[in-house]
Structure 1
Amino acid sequence: MHPAISRLVDIVPPAAPPRPRDWTTVEAALGTPLPDDFKQLVDVYGGGLFDETIWLLDPGCADPGYELLAIAAERDEILADLWDGGEPKPAELLDGEARVIPWAYVEGSGHYLYWLVRPGQHPDSWTVMLNEGRGPEWEHHQQTCAGFLAGVMTGDVESFYFDDLPGMDHTFVPNDEILTAT
């Protein structure tokens, strides 16, 4: 198990085992392999909400608002429209072949967490980009998604957008519990 996921499991144990994912199909639909730490994270926890703040996007989620492939397509379109309309791209994306792929959403804020995908870079080396969602500001963190998530939950990540974390108690609620309750 990836060390950051082991750290997360120590911080907040997973709920019931999630349903299996067909990673081959997901990766084919995205046109790229995904980082192993993300696949392990979803295989251990499933999609859901960490500390009432960070929604881990889930391939195959019944609600398209939290489904990895649906959100990736939506965010591609939204970002392309913003950048075509004159909003500046972050410096990390000025190389025309670099792109971002969303992997999490920040509850109630409009913020998205993305992987920074650079040509020729192995997915396990992808780092985290955060977009404020309702404006042009971006943060770049030199960590994998699981490392970033664990760091936010322990206070080891410094981010303007997570100044209220970590909390005293940590929680994880799977999508299946949240989305079937509404």
Structure 2
Amino acid sequence: MNPSLARLTQLLPPPPEPREKDWRPAEQALRVDELPSDYKELIHAYGGSNWDDYLYLLEPGCPNDNYDLIEWEDQQTEALDGLWEFEKKPAELEDEATRVIPWATTDNGECLYWLVRPGQAADQWTIMVNESSGDRWEHFPVTCTQFLASALTGDLKSTILSSRFPLAVHEFRQLKAV
């Protein structure tokens, strides 16, 4: 278990039954060689889930279709392609071969992405946060579990995410079919 995930399990114990996944179909659908190992561990432990009644962790094949990683990637790719026609890309995305893949969203509509650069291993992907219906972006040079653990402990601050996140007493719920 990576140190950031170990930190998360101290903050909020995971559900008793881990989620098993065949990752190859999701990786093929996302057109990547592999997804970050810390994300796979996070999904194995927690599955698609809601954190502090605000942040939703996306999962391929999520029991709640609203938070399926593959569906979100399709929607966000289309939305961002339209956005770039009218707005300037953040500096991190100016290289045409660089792209983003969503891994989490919020109840306000902000989206958290992996920054995927050509030739970069999945475990080196960093995090981009985009405001809901706006052009503000933030870049965090951390993995998704580092981001989530640091956000929950208050060690990482975002000017885009809600000032009410994280909660003083953390909450977690696994997403179920609707």
Task: Please indicate the TM-score interval, normalised by the length of the shorter structure.
Answer: over 0.9
Q: Does 1:121 align with 2:115?
A: no
SS of alignment partner, residue 50 of structure 2: strand
Question: 1:174, 1:16 → 2: CA distance?
Answer: 11
Q: TM-score, normalised by structure 1?
A: 0.93
Question: Where does residue 69 of structure 1 map in the other structure?
Answer: 70
Question: Where does residue 164 of structure 1 map in the other structure?
Answer: 164
More displaced 10-residue stretch of structure 1: 72-81 or 56-65: 56-65
Q: Deviation at 1:158? A: 1.4
Question: 2:171, 2:130 → 1: CA distance?
Answer: 24
CA deviations on 1:19-64 (whole Å, 9 max, x unpaired) are 3211111111111111000010000001010111110001102433
Q: Deviation at 1:146? A: 0.4
Contact 1:18/1:45 (CA < 8 Å) preserved in 2? yes
SS of alignment partner, residue 72 of structure 1: helix
What is the percent sequence identity of the aligned residues?
Answer: 44
Question: 1:148, 1:119 → 2: CA distance?
Answer: 22
CA deviations on 1:142-182 (whole Å, 9 max, x unpaired) are 11000000011000001112422332211210002xx44xx
Q: How does 1:103-114 map to 2 (within 5 A)?
A: 103-107=103-107, 109-114=108-113
Runs of 4+ aligned residues of structure 1 deviating over 3 Å after TM superposition are none
Question: 1:36, 1:101 → 2: CA distance?
Answer: 15
Question: 1:43, 1:77 → 2: CA distance?
Answer: 28
Q: How does 1:1-182 map to 2 (within 5 A)?
A: 1-32=1-32, 33-84=34-85, 86-107=86-107, 109-160=108-159, 161-176=161-176, 179-180=177-178
Q: Deviation at 1:133? A: 2.1
Contact 1:152/1:162 (CA < 8 Å) preserved in 2? no
SS of alignment partner, residue 135 of structure 2: coil
Q: TM-score, normalised by structure 2?
A: 0.95
- What code does the residue aligned with 2:118 have? P
Question: 1:97, 1:80 → 2: CA distance?
Answer: 13
For these two proteins, the number of residue pairs brought into alignment is: 176
Contact 2:19/2:46 (CA < 8 Å) preserved in 1? no
Q: Deviation at 1:100? A: 0.2
Contact 1:15/1:172 (CA < 8 Å) preserved in 2? no
Contact 1:46/1:174 (CA < 8 Å) preserved in 2? yes
Which 5+ residue runs of structure 2 have no aligned equivalent? none
